[in-house]
Amino acid sequence: MKEYIKDLADTNLFSGITPNEISGLLDCVHAKLVDYEKDEFILEEGNRTYDFGIILSGRARAIKWDSTDRVIIITLLQKGSEIGVILAASLDHKSPVSVQAQEKVSILLIPFDYLLARCKKSCPCHERLLRNYINIVAEKGLLLHERMNCLLKPTVREKIMTYLMRVSCEKQSLDFVLPFNRNGMAEYLNVERSALSRELSNMKKDKVIDYNKNSFRLL
Amino acid sequence: MKEYIKDLADTNLFSGITPNEISGLLDCVHAKLVDYEKDEFILEEGNRTYDFGIILSGRARAIKWDSTDRVIIITLLQKGSEIGVILAASLDHKSPVSVQAQEKVSILLIPFDYLLARCKKSCPCHERLLRNYINIVAEKGLLLHERMNCLLKPTVREKIMTYLMRVSCEKQSLDFVLPFNRNGMAEYLNVERSALSRELSNMKKDKVIDYNKNSFRLL
DNA sequence: AATCTTTTGTTGCTTGCGCAACGAAAAGCG
DNA sequence: CGCTTTTCGTTGCGCAAGCAACAAAAGATT
């Protein structure tokens, strides 16, 4: 586990905590390492879990299925992303989503109860850990709001624009590369892939955007 | 403020804390009372706030607007409901929703920073307060997931069914009364009111549900 | 280089549903 | 009670977008 401590210092959960302290904390909260193979499920909708995790390496996606078994991407997760944060802190611990590894994934698992339990040494960093956790849960909630801002739009074009403008805003540039291919983008925006392609073409024709492959530009 | 302490003991935030302790805590976290008139905005989308609130009396709704200025109801809030919990705990404190009073509303406001700050007396109840807060943020996140489960459905009928089954589940009964009128229900499910009425009629005709006014029954 | 697989774009068909307009019922009010 | 206002159901129209099928392009594999 030692080899990850430097990476952990850069995560939101351990922000403001020194590598030395992290090392102590990991014991204190009974952290453990778990690996997953590509396509394996880290979490399954409806299942109960009492731990949350941090991705140490690899990428994953949080998904749901609609009634016709079509995949809907809720969030993309990468190195440093937290998994099951809301879930672990909830009351009945029933997962609202499934999380699937998109490649080999290593995860640091932490039981929520140990996070809450103040350690015997009552170190100030444990305090900080808790505060970081609260921030993370809140940010996850905001992410869902962002998500809804797309879904709520009545037309495909508006869904696309809402999403593109958000990414553009995050990247602070009118040019950017999306983390999705067409299919993934459709699953994220919850529209038909062909309908998405069609509308992207129209938008290019109307000169509101330009793109090729996953590289986009707002005009 | 004293007159509300008994009510506060029943809220999620103060769960497990005695009225006596609550009384002390309120000073400790610099809680203050604020009143709002009907239709007044308690929170406005995009604005920054560093406090969260608990409704002491009255009802409110969290809403967004789509591009055509149609209202979309995110959550209904009533006595005991928390307002701005995710917001206060977030990093940039920019509200993702507007919250509007639906009648005269009284709110207990608490600055998030004082919630985090451990009081000088370092009372154990402050500890409990923090844990309760984490639970609440998580539950708010789950609420958004529930919300999405409706929005993600491709057809109006499925949106309706998803919502009705959730309420039925909560109420533990196939008969229940919705907190919405038709218009509100449409705003919640993000569909046209007339389309909603039409589909409700069809579903009654198909004998999958029965209803009149806001009283529904699943068949 | 040849073959197979995956990813995109395109396009006709069909339909669910947004929209607007209207009437009836219910509720609020002087 | 009569009048106004709000709520609710119904219906015709038109279009956005889901669906399916296909072809072209891009990668992957041997």
Helix (H/G/I), strand (E/B), else coil: B42? strand
Whether B121 shows a pLDDT value over 70: the answer reads: no
Q: Which long-range contacts (CB under 8 A, 24 or more apart) does A23-28 make?
A: A24/A121, A24/A123, A24/A125, A25/A119, A25/A123, A25/A125, A25/A126, A25/A129, A26/A1, A26/A108, A28/A114, A28/A119, A28/A121, A28/A123, A28/A126
Is the pLDDT at A166 greater than 70? The verdict is yes
Q: Do B151 and A151 touch (CB under 8 A)?
A: yes
State how far the Cα of A35 lies from the Cα of A83, in Å rounded to an integer.
14
pLDDT in the model for residue A158:
97
Mean pLDDT, range A17-28, rounded to an integer: 91
Closest CA to A178 of A190, A189, A164, A191: A164
DSSP B208: S
Question: pLDDT tens-digit profile of A172-194?
Answer: 999 999 999 999 999 999 999 99
**Are B69 and B115 contacting, i.e. CB atoms less than 8 angstroms apart?**
no
Q: How far is the CA of B122 from the C1' of D15 (A)?
A: 64
Q: Protein A99 CA to nucleic acid C20 C1', in Å? A: 44
Check if residue B160 sits with its Cβ under 7 angstroms from strand D: no
In this prediction, residue B78 has a pLDDT band, given cuts at 50, 70 and 90, of very high
pLDDT at B94 > cutoff 70: yes
CA distance B11 to B32: 16
Question: Residues B14-22: what's their mean pLDDT?
Answer: 93
Looking at strand C, which nucleotides approach a protein CB closer than 7 A?
A: 7-12, 16-21
Tell me what pLDDT residue A48 has.
97
- Inter-chain contact B151–A153, Cβ cutoff 8 Å? no
Answer whether A137 sits within 8 Å of B135, measured CB to CB.
no
- Which of B97, B142, B153 is the closest to A96 by Cβ? B142
Looking at residue B88, its pLDDT comes to: 98
CA B115 to C1' D12, whole Å = 58
Which string of DSSP letters, residue by residue, matches A64-82? EE-TT--EEEEEEE-TT-E
- The DSSP H or E segment spanning A212 is strand A209-212
Closest C-alpha to B150, from B194, B196, B181: B196
Please state, in angstroms and rounded to a whole number, the distance separating the CA atoms of residues B68 and A153: 9
Q: What is the pLDDT of residues B138-192, one digit of tens each?
A: 999 999 999 999 999 999 999 999 999 999 999 999 999 999 999 999 999 999 9
Q: In this complex, do B152 and A190 lie within 8 Å of one another by their Cβ atoms?
A: yes
Name every residue in A having a CB less than 8 A away from some CB of B: 64, 66-68, 72, 74, 85-91, 96-97, 116, 118, 127, 130-131, 133-135, 137-142, 144-149, 151-154, 158, 190
Q: Which residues pair with A52 in a beta bridge?
A: A110
pLDDT of residue A119: 65
If you average pLDDT over residues A157-173, what whole number do you get?
Answer: 97
Condensed to tens digits (0 to 9), the pLDDT of residues B123-142 reads 778 888 999 999 999 999 99
A191 touches strand D (CB under 7 A): yes
pLDDT at residue A72 greater than cutoff 80: yes
Does residue A200 lie within 7 Å of nucleic acid chain C, judged by its CB? yes
CB-based contact B141 A146, cutoff 8 Å: no
Residue A181, CB, strand C, below 7 Å: yes
Residue that has been written with the tokens 């499934």 in this structure: A98
| pLDDT given for residue B131 in this prediction | 92
State whether A152 and B190 contact (CB < 8 Å): yes
**What residues in chain B have their Cβ under 8 A from chain A's Cβ atoms?**
64, 66-68, 72, 74, 85-91, 96-97, 116, 118, 127, 130-131, 133-135, 137-142, 144-149, 151-154, 158, 190
Residue type, A18: T
What distance in Å separates the CA atoms of residue A2 and residue A117, rounded to the nearest whole number?
23
Taking CA–CA distances from A88, the nearest residue in chain B reads: B138
Cβ–Cβ < 8 Å for B14, B6? no
pTM of the model: 0.94
pLDDT at residue A65 in the model: 93
Query: Are A82 and A94 spatial neighbours (Cβ–Cβ below 8 Å)?
Result: no
A120-149 per-position pLDDT tens digit: 666 778 888 999 999 999 999 999 999 999
Cβ–Cβ gap A141/B144 under 8 Å: yes
d(CA A24, CA B193): 57
Minimal CA–CA distance to B188: which of B214, B206, B218, B212? B214
